[in-house]
């Protein structure tokens, strides 16, 4: 329910696999999706399998183990406890 601090909007969404051109070589993907990163990755499964890009994302308090055991299990995983941004 919206209140003084929130607003509901409707936004069109598309799968990453549907918007990237098949002839492009994807090397790096950064995702900042405010808690729905797994859904973004699920919409990019073909891109991830084909190109195997480096991916940077913030996972917050979610269970990353679920991701590693599911559709994204074939990647290499690295965890950073903190990040310095200049």
**pLDDT of the chain along its 86 residues, tens only?**
556 788 889 989 899 999 988 788 999 999 888 878 888 888 998 998 889 888 888 766 556 666 666 656 666 666 666 666 65
C-alpha 29/C-alpha 79 separation (Å) is 16
In a domain, 46, yes or no: yes
DSSP H or E segment with residue 31: strand 28-31
Instruction: Examine residue 80 and state whether it is found in any structural domain, yes or no.
Output: no
Q: What predicted TM-score, i.e. pTM, was given to this entire model? A: 0.65
Note down the domain range covering 26: 16-69
As for how many domains the chain has, the answer is 1
Q: Residue 11 domain-assigned?
A: no
Residue 7 lies in a domain: no
φ, ψ for residue 55, nearest 5 deg: -130, 135
In a domain, 5, yes or no: no
């Amino acid at each position: 329910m919206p209140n003084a601090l929130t607003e509901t909007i409707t936004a069109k969404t598309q799968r990453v696999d549907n918007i990237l051109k098949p002839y492009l070589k994807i090397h790096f993907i950064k995702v900042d999706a405010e808690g729905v990163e797994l859904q973004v990755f699920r919409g990019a499964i073909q891109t991830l399998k084909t190109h195997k890009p480096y991916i940077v994302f913030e996972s917050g308090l979610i269970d990353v183990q679920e991701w590693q055991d599911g559709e994204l299990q074939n990647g290499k995983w690295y965890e950073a406890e903190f990040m310095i941004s200049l």
